[in-house]
A and B are shown apart, each in its own frame.
Chain A
């Protein structure tokens, strides 16, 4: 790797000792010898296997749950329902004061998506747990469901999640996250061209090679060790502490080895119920998603819809941008209100635009709850923005890379959120990209710098 030291030579220190130097990873020897211990590599005598009874409906009221046949099944040790969970309604981000609590650990009275956990069965073997789970009888009254964000926002749409009261997340700024900068309508009025396009994406599953799960061992004295592949150790520890109404000091989490995550293992789903199972039976418990569950049940990247309207001048300057973004949270919040909010911050792009107007909605539907995945909230936004940039360049007959040089933010430029740009290096990145891709741009762009002297 080449380290370019000529950029910003006058503003940077040049005493780097580590960057550009290869360093062996400390975990690689374990990986190549097969010695690295993943959570499922722990096996305890007398370990029980947990299988979940899941909703076959997208939206239904639960009239009754009958677990008597399952309890009689050979090998079954314990069957858990909502009433066994000390604090059954939770939300992950409550730890950073983002509420309301809107998701049940085990469904209570209603299911809001197909695959929602209803009853947990603990048995001596995986097969016994599976067979017993099939014997749990749940009487559902199927309710109308909504799967499309625009349908969900219409008056009279089925209400997905009563803890919110409407099918969108209520931010402290109102029904959506907003950015207002300059006068967008005046910007459009003065623009040479206007281009409005909409972009949308499907949910995307992370598909880690190691499926989500945990193994819990009771240590005696009401203490539990949980071996888990969570990507969010303290989120999991603290949320489990809330859900089980147990001090965190009773919970010992062991992790650090994750067989692929990509954001798919930041939700707190398997650990609380597995620890509860270990607590109520006094035995080690293993709760591991099957591959089918991983693909169907784990939270995907949210489906998004983005409508972008840009006003552009024939000389290449973008003078106005109006964006409405919709993030499909599915039935529960998890990390989606945060994802939608990130979108609001991101839609101006790395460009200096004098008039910006942005609304982003976090919408509830009866789909699988979505959550974190690799830059969630901004990745689809970037796709939409950069396709839009290419279309704008084409519209005014300009080279798409030169078009970006004209609009790239540079130090001192005021961003739409009223934060002055600092430490930008976009111009320099594009100059390198231009060389690397053999995509020449006019000399005046190669002479530009993000670092404006005196800015």
Chain B
């Protein structure tokens, strides 16, 4: 199988890999690069557990071919906290018990981050809409929605 070179910035670090053509970004991140924070839940673009941010946009890494990511900037949940300090979203998920088994959490946090990056003070409906592509089976959506709203409030207080 043909190997193709791929280069992108992952959580601030340059990554360069030779991968099998057709490899998904999810598999490339998990198996080649060793960032296992995006999770494979359905591998068909319906559960959202593999969500990552590519050039500011929320993307499903299980439906994205790694070879199409050349030159992009990719953010995953494992890259959110800086020098051990949790991102406001991570802090809010922790404080409001918005994570039970934790499997959907990295994808949820990515979806929430894209929302807050574009809409710093979202309404509850906007939060629900933004998380609608991410399936949670045990925590329940209400604590997750509350976590995102809590993080948004923390953000606006920081900005003020």
Identify the A interface with B (CB < 8 A). Answer: 24-25, 27-38, 40-41, 43, 206-211, 257-262, 290-291
In the complex, per-residue mask of B35-48: 1 if CB is within 8 Å of any chain A CB, else 0? 11111111110010
In the assembled complex, B49 has its CB within 8 A of some CB on chain A? yes
- Bound-complex Cα distance A38 to B41 (A): 12
Given contacts A33-B78, A291-B41, whether A28 and B94 have CB atoms under 8 Å apart is yes
Are A37 and B36 in contact (CB-based, < 8 A)? Answer: yes
Are B97 and A25 in contact (CB-based, < 8 A)? Answer: yes
Are B44 and A28 in contact (CB-based, < 8 A)? Answer: no
Partner of B102, one of A24, A27, A261: A27
Are B105 and A209 in contact (CB-based, < 8 A)? Answer: no
Given contacts A43-B30, A260-B103, whether A34 and B36 have CB atoms under 8 Å apart is yes
Query: Can you name 11 extra interface pairs (CB under 8 A) apart from A30-B102, A31-B102, A257-B101?
Result: A28-B97, A32-B86, A33-B80, A34-B77, A41-B36, A43-B30, A43-B34, A210-B101, A257-B102, A261-B101, A291-B41
Partner of B94, one of A24, A40, A209, A262: A24
Given contacts A33-B78, A207-B137, A291-B44, whether A38 and B103 have CB atoms under 8 Å apart is yes
- Bound-complex Cα distance A33 to B102 (A): 10
Q: Inside 8 A of B137's CB, which chain A residues have their CB?
A: 206-209, 260, 262
Are A34 and B94 in contact (CB-based, < 8 A)? Answer: no
CB distance from A86 to the nearest CB of B (A): 32
Given contacts A209-B41, A209-B47, A211-B41, whether A32 and B104 have CB atoms under 8 Å apart is no
Are B39 and A259 in contact (CB-based, < 8 A)? Answer: yes
Which of B36, B97, B101, B105 is the most central at the interface, judged by chain A CB atoms within 10 Å of its CB?
A: B101
Q: Inside 8 A of A33's CB, which chain B residues have their CB?
A: 37, 77-78, 80-81, 86, 90
Dominant secondary structure at the B interface: loop
Q: Inside 8 A of A261's CB, which chain B residues have their CB?
A: 101
Please report which residues of chain B, range 35-72, place their CB below 8 angstroms from some CB of chain A when the two chains form the complex: 35-44, 47, 49
CB distance from A43 to the nearest CB of B (A): 6
Given contacts A24-B94, A209-B49, whether A36 and B102 have CB atoms under 8 Å apart is yes
Given contacts A32-B94, A33-B81, A260-B103, whether A38 and B109 have CB atoms under 8 Å apart is no
In the assembled complex, B8 has its CB within 8 A of some CB on chain A? no
Smallest Cβ-Cβ distance to A295: which chain B residue: B42
Smallest Cβ-Cβ distance to B91: which chain A residue: A32
- Bound-complex Cα distance A207 to B47 (A): 11
- Bound-complex Cα distance A277 to B86 (A): 41
Dominant secondary structure at the A interface: loop
- Bound-complex Cα distance A38 to B102 (A): 10
Partner of B136, one of A34, A40, A209: A209
Smallest Cβ-Cβ distance to A207: which chain B residue: B137
In the assembled complex, B135 has its CB within 8 A of some CB on chain A? yes
Sorted from nearest, which 5 A-B pairs have the closest CB atoms? A34-B37, A31-B102, A259-B103, A41-B36, A34-B77
A-B contact pairs, 30 of them (CB 8 A): A24-B94, A27-B102, A28-B93, A28-B102, A29-B86, A32-B89, A32-B91, A32-B93, A32-B94, A32-B105, A33-B81, A34-B35, A34-B36, A34-B78, A35-B37, A38-B36, A38-B39, A41-B36, A206-B137, A209-B39, A209-B49, A209-B101, A209-B103, A209-B104, A257-B102, A259-B102, A259-B103, A261-B101, A290-B43, A291-B41
Are A32 and B44 in contact (CB-based, < 8 A)? Answer: no
Are B101 and A32 in contact (CB-based, < 8 A)? Answer: no
Smallest Cβ-Cβ distance to B38: which chain A residue: A34
Given contacts A209-B137, A210-B103, whether A35 and B41 have CB atoms under 8 Å apart is no
Are A259 and B101 in contact (CB-based, < 8 A)? Answer: yes
Given contacts A291-B41, A291-B42, whether A29 and B103 have CB atoms under 8 Å apart is no
In the complex, per-residue mask of B120-147: 1 if CB is within 8 Å of any chain A CB, else 0? 0000000000000001111000000000
CB distance from B87 to the nearest CB of A (A): 9
- Bound-complex Cα distance A52 to B90 (A): 39
Q: Inside 8 A of A259's CB, which chain B residues have their CB?
A: 39, 41, 101-103
- Bound-complex Cα distance A24 to B80 (A): 21
- Bound-complex Cα distance A40 to B27 (A): 11
Given contacts A25-B97, A32-B86, A32-B94, whether A210 and B105 have CB atoms under 8 Å apart is no
- Bound-complex Cα distance A27 to B34 (A): 21
Smallest Cβ-Cβ distance to A31: which chain B residue: B102
Q: Inside 8 A of A36's CB, which chain B residues have their CB?
A: 102
Smallest Cβ-Cβ distance to A36: which chain B residue: B102
- Bound-complex Cα distance A66 to B97 (A): 53
- Bound-complex Cα distance A446 to B47 (A): 47
- Bound-complex Cα distance A29 to B93 (A): 9
- Bound-complex Cα distance A290 to B47 (A): 13
Q: Inside 8 A of A257's CB, which chain B residues have their CB?
A: 101-102
Q: Inside 8 A of A258's CB, which chain B residues have their CB?
A: 101
Are A260 and B138 in contact (CB-based, < 8 A)? Answer: yes
- Bound-complex Cα distance A307 to B35 (A): 53
Are A31 and B138 in contact (CB-based, < 8 A)? Answer: no
Are A32 and B103 in contact (CB-based, < 8 A)? Answer: no
- Bound-complex Cα distance A38 to B106 (A): 13
- Bound-complex Cα distance A81 to B77 (A): 42
In the assembled complex, B14 has its CB within 8 A of some CB on chain A? no
CB distance from B82 to the nearest CB of A (A): 11
